[in-house]
């Protein structure tokens, strides 16, 4: 007989996906230091990956935290992530801004 668990959270997937978009986000900590997180968006798989990194966006091998994988979706031209308690909410502002810039550049190139 199998057991079912009602555990909320992220699922670790051991597979490589090329990212459609990556952004480094600086999060202030309690001691006025900044913690950098690399957000990677994979639209085809509907996932967003968060992993600790350096200021340059290089994954930090000194930290022993695994990357976190979460569900995401596109709502018009806004990237949304699935929050455990709040449901679908807009992704980080920097990620959405970078995606908007890509769409704008694509539109400009198509007009030429």
Model pTM score:
0.75
Residue that wins the pLDDT comparison between 6 and 10: 10
In a domain, 91, yes or no: yes
Give residue 86's domain range: 21-111
- Can you give the pLDDT at residue 3? 43
pLDDT at 11 over 80: no
CATH of the domain at 81: 2.40.128
Most confident of 9-13, 29-33, 34-38: 34-38
- Count of domains for the chain: 1
- Can you give the pLDDT at residue 63? 62
- Can you give the pLDDT at residue 66? 77
In a domain, 5, yes or no: no
In a domain, 10, yes or no: no
In a domain, 83, yes or no: yes
**Which contacts of 87-96 are long-range, i.e. CB under 8 A and separated by 24 or more positions?**
91/39, 91/41, 91/48, 92/23, 92/25, 92/39, 94/23, 94/25, 94/39, 95/21, 95/23, 95/25, 95/39, 95/41, 95/48
């Amino acid at each position: 007989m199998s057991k079912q668990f009602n555990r909320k959270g992220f699922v670790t997937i051991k597979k490589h996906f090329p990212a459609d978009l990556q952004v480094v986000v600086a999060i202030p900590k309690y001691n006025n230091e900044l913690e950098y997180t690399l957000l990677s968006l994979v639209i085809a798989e509907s996932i967003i990956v968060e992993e600790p990194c350096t200021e340059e966006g290089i994954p930090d091998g000194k930290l022993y935290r695994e990357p976190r994988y979460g569900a995401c979706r596109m709502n018009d031209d806004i990237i949304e992530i699935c929050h455990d308690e709040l449901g679908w909410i807009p992704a980080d502002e920097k990620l959405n801004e970078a995606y908007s810039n890509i769409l704008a550049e694509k539109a400009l190139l198509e007009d030429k």
